[in-house]
Structures are given as C-alpha cells and as structure tokens.
Structure 1
C-alpha cells in the first residue's frame, strides 16, 4: 500500500509544485492550504507523513506539528520553510518533535529522500508499538500463569542454552493427570480416561 503524504502550505503554487514533484513517486498525495484544513484531513484520513510550511497565516507550522504530535503521534512530521526563525524551529523540534527540517527552496531529490526515510521511520514506529503491545500482553499472560501455577515460568538452561526440564520431581501419574488437564483446557474437549 502506498504511503500517504500531506503537504501543508498557504501558497497554492507551492502546493502545486510539491504535487508535481511527487508524480511517479509511490505516495498518495494530499494537500491543505492551512493548518486547520490539515487537521480536518488528519481527522478523517490516516496520514503517514506531514510536510508543513512554518510561515502560514492563521496557524504556524510549528503549532500544527505540535497538535499533530498529540492527536496523531504516528504521523511523521517534517517542517519546510523559507524563512527559518530559530524560535520557530526550536518550537517545532521541542513541541512537535519534528523528524526533519528542510529549507525552501527545497531540492526535490532531498525532499524525496527525506520522505522515503520518513516512511521507513513511521513503519518502524508502528511496528515497534505493535511489538511492545504484544510483549505487554505476553507478560500479563505469563504473570497470570505464574499466579495460577507457581514456578511455571522459572526456566533452567544447560551451558549450551537448552531448556532443562526436571520431570523427576513429579510422579508419572500426577504428570499424566496434569497433562490431561492442560490438554482439556487447550482443546476445550474432555480427554478420555
């Protein structure tokens, strides 16, 4: 699936130039003429990368990226401006946690490279969040199992790292009963005696 890139600038000719520069690139390109319009689009569309001008009427780019960071944290934010003011850039870095800062006029190849990197960055962020959620679910499951069966999560390994299972501590008949109980639980079908 193509990544979605949203360009935000209050100058229509700049937006048209950006749209033209992206022809042939593997992106779904959206444009907004203001920060408010960009927020409306973000409210209804999943956007992978936001590229916004800093100097805009109404809402500055640094304010927009700060809002986007809070409402859409997985959207990678890039600031693009022709008149870089240190306070604006610092605000964008600190409050909006921008991924990149590019100056106008921007070299098209530099912009394309930044977008490729931003898309990869976003995919890594999303995958990292997914993996973290999975680890948390697994940890909760292990904690529940440990509460129900104390010692079940204690693992012993030999010098080669192989798992050591000491079945001598449990009599064979008790081991078979426990295995049947676990089998019944896993399959939700009673085991035959």
Structure 2
C-alpha cells in the first residue's frame, strides 16, 4: 500500500447486469472506496465521461455488450482508467487473450473473495496514481525546461542590451556635440536660418529619445541579474541537476560518476541561477558524450586564506572535445558547436552568472578525448578577492 494515499479519492465503477450483484458490491466496498454502479455499457460510458473514474470492474457475461468488449471501448476512449474483468472459469481463454491484447489489467474469478477483490482494487488505484504522478512529473520537467530556456533568453537579452547600450552611448556623445556646434557654424552662412533651427531641434529631440531608450535597455538588463544570495549546499543543487539529466544520459548508456566532497560548507549564492549554470553544462556534456561514455562530476572545498575560500565544481566528459579555435568563442553570444540545434546562449549566460558571483569558469578540452568545465565559486562573494585567486588543478579520476 502507498502511504497516505486517499483511496476514496479515486472512484471505482462496477458494471453488472444483475441488480442484486450491484447492491452487494456496493455494500461490500463502499466503506473503502467511492463506488459507482451501472447495469450495462450504455449506462457505464456516460459515467466515465462525467466522473473522474480511476478503475472500472465489469462482469464478462452481460447481454448486448460483453465485459471484454466494454473494456476494449474503455481502453480506446479512456486509456488511463484501469480495467478489471470478473469472469467464470469457463471464460479463461477469453480472459487470457484480453490480457495479452492489453485490454485488461487483471481478472477476478467468480465467485470472488471479498478480501482479494479489495486488495486488487487497492493495487489498481495505486497503479492509476503512479501513472498519473509520472505524467505530472514529466509535465513539470517539460515546463521547467521551458522556464529555463526562457530564463536563458531573457538573461541573454539583458546582457546584449547592456552591451548595445554602451555601444550606442559613445556615438551619441559625438552626435550631440556636433549638433550643438551646428547652429553656430551655419548661423551667419545660412540664408534659411529658420530651417536649420528647426532641423537642429528635431535632431536634438531624436538624440534625447535614443538616450531614453538606452536608459530603458540598461534598466532592463539589471532585472536579470542575481540578487537573492543565500547559503546553499553546492552538492545538493548539483545533485538535483544531475538527477534531472540522468534519464537522458541513460538513454545513451552514459554513466554519470559523482565525486562529491564530504562536509562542504554552504556557499553564498543565488540558488536558482546557479542551478541554471549546472544544468547548462551538464546538458552540454550529455549531448557531447557518445554512447557508453562517462561524465564525472566533482566538488571540493579550497582555502587559500581566511578571505579567499571557495567551492570548486568540475564537470568532465569523454565526448568529442572542442577545438582550440572554438574554445576561444565558447562564451560568445550565439556561438554554438551544434550543427542543427542550440542557440549559443546557454554557456554565455552561465559565464555571466558565474561572473555575477565573482567566480571563474574555465574550460579545458582535447579533440576526441573530452572536455572539462571547472567552476571556482567564492564561499562569500562579498569578501572574495578574485585578483589573488589561483586556478586549482582538478583532482578527479582519469576519464
């Protein structure tokens, strides 16, 4: 039995053409389950359409539509509903075929034992619950991935907005200066002074409009920056992201080896933003690693002096590797080594987030052998002196 599962929250529909059988079934099981009854398929199908039925139990021998045929219809119209058939021993061959065809979850022989049926219904409800829970978790995973993708895009837009703003600001200064000088130069020479003054006014207003736009872009870029720093267990959030990508890794026969340091202190960081970094790098590792490869995830605590303490995370893979030429472009906006997919924003965003934490991210790679991403994250970004920090060699098993 599943602990804390409220079985009455998952209705059961019992179908039998005998009124006495329906009454008896209801009396036997109404204290344990929410019971609906129907005398035929004609009565059963509307109930399935209006009530959130989890389990249907039907007698095989009924006029017009026999039990197996009813369950076949239910499988087509309500595939999530768990289907159970009650039948006499003489119908055993028919039942076996129904089970093999996938129409029936389980069958119960007549005359049935009350305790056995109660146990069967519980198991059927548990099966229904687990299927629904798996669907819910999958939907959550998909939605989480969408949110992460959106966060990547928004963060990238903020970064590019900031860069664009600085690029535009410089020529604006020159244009503004030029426009200020323009009236003095043409004041005497121009016969149409009114025209030049009007042109000057339009130009000045447009410059101011662009300057306002730049200010708005800069404000927008600040919204995407990390602000919520709190004590976080690096092993905990890294493990969450490893579990998140593990199914994809298993599909390719990739083994993810964990070498987490013991008793690591909590680091001051933005939990969600740092999870985004780990997920980006882990997904890249899974995508780059061939079938049967290995990914090694390592964490450790390094102390240089009281003010310079940091957590180191290394993610290594045995993938195809990255050329030296591409390594130099790896954190460039929109650059990607994937031919048919990838926006080129994930690693750029990761670099930006690590930088916000006053940390460092380093990549070592060799074509045909694999890649290692190493992150150094200060235990306290407010006290950490990045200028004095040393890049420590990754201590991990050989790939």
Tell me if both proteins adopt one fold, taking TM over 0.5 as the criterion: yes
For residue 175 of structure 1, report the CA deviation from its aligned partner.
4.8
Q: Which residue of 2 aligns with 1:107?
A: 113
Q: Which residue of 2 aligns with 1:30?
A: 36
Tell which deviates more after alignment, 131-140 or 13-22.
Answer: 131-140
The alignment status of 1:158 with 2:298, answered yes or no, reads: yes
Tell whether the 8 Å contact from 1:49 to 1:75 is kept in structure 2 after alignment.
yes
Q: 1:138 and 1:68 mapped to 2: Cα distance?
A: 33
- Over residues 10-43 of structure 1, what are the superposed CA-to-partner deviations in whole Å (9 max), with x where a residue is unaligned? 1111111111211422x11110000121111101
TM-score for both structures, normalised by structure 1: 0.73
Q: 1:60 and 1:88 mapped to 2: Cα distance?
A: 11
The alignment status of 1:129 with 2:135, answered yes or no, reads: yes
Q: Which residue of 2 aligns with 1:61?
A: 67
Q: 2:107 and 2:312 mapped to 1: Cα distance?
A: 50
Cα distance, 1:163–1:58 mapped onto 2, change above 3 Å: farther
| Structure 1: runs of 5 or more not aligned | 180-193
- Secondary structure of the residue that 1:117 maps to in structure 2? helix
Q: 2:35 and 2:83 mapped to 1: Cα distance?
A: 15
Q: 2:50 and 2:352 mapped to 1: Cα distance?
A: 56
For residue 85 of structure 1, report the CA deviation from its aligned partner.
2.3
Q: Which residue of 2 aligns with 1:97?
A: 103
Tell whether the 8 Å contact from 1:54 to 1:88 is kept in structure 2 after alignment.
no
Larger Rg: 2
For residue 159 of structure 1, report the CA deviation from its aligned partner.
5.2
Residues 140-151 of structure 1 correspond to what in structure 2 (within 5 A)?
A: 140-142=146-148
Cα distance, 1:175–1:41 mapped onto 2, change above 3 Å: closer
For residue 110 of structure 1, report the CA deviation from its aligned partner.
0.5
- Over residues 111-131 of structure 1, what are the superposed CA-to-partner deviations in whole Å (9 max), with x where a residue is unaligned? 111011111111111101111
For residue 88 of structure 1, report the CA deviation from its aligned partner.
2.7
Determine which structure has greater relative contact order: mean sequence separation of CA pairs < 8 Å that are 6+ residues apart, divided by chain length.
Answer: 1
How large is the RMSD of aligned CA atoms in angstroms? 3.4
Tell which deviates more after alignment, 49-58 or 88-97.
Answer: 88-97
Q: Which residue of 2 aligns with 1:12?
A: 19
- Over residues 115-170 of structure 1, what are the superposed CA-to-partner deviations in whole Å (9 max), with x where a residue is unaligned? 11111111111101111112222334445666786x9511484256x8728xxx99
Aligned residues: 172
Cα distance, 1:140–1:13 mapped onto 2, change above 3 Å: same
